[in-house]
Amino acid sequence: MWYYEQPLPAGRKNYTKTQPIQFEEFADCLKWWGKRRDNEQAWKVTAKELLANGYNLDRKNPSTKDDITHLPPEQLAESILEKERRIMEIVAGIQKLLKP
């Protein structure tokens, strides 16, 4: 099964109901379709892999880098606590401002 990741146009973060995908944006995909090969936007998954994964068709592009850096649990917990402390400081400041 072939997968093709349709890139967003420059300056766009997503498609919306009022700014949907336009037919012209499929030009590269249509050009690729006639000579399908793996590349940074296209990849294939075998039927065997799909079967092994319970026919789940949800696949991430193997060419993309992970956006999330995984921190060690201790560092992650400390980061969360530090953010919570800062939130509590901000809330305390707001409460002071609201007192008559």
pLDDT at 72: 83
**62 and 98 co-located in one domain:** no
**What stretch of H or E contains 97?**
helix 73-98
- Rg value, the chain, Cα: 23
- 2 token code pair: 């072939």
| Residues 35-61 pLDDT 10s | 999 999 999 999 999 999 999 999 889
**62 and 72 co-located in one domain:** no
Which whole number is the average pLDDT over 80-89? 95
Number of domains the chain is built from: 2
**91 and 54 co-located in one domain:** no
Which whole number is the average pLDDT over 11-28? 93
Please report, to the nearest 10 degrees, the dihedral formed by the alpha carbons of residues 56, 58, 61, 65 taken in order: -110
**7 and 51 co-located in one domain:** yes
Domain containing 84: what range? 68-100
**53 and 83 co-located in one domain:** no
- 52 token code pair: 């092994």
**41 and 52 co-located in one domain:** yes
pTM of the model: 0.59
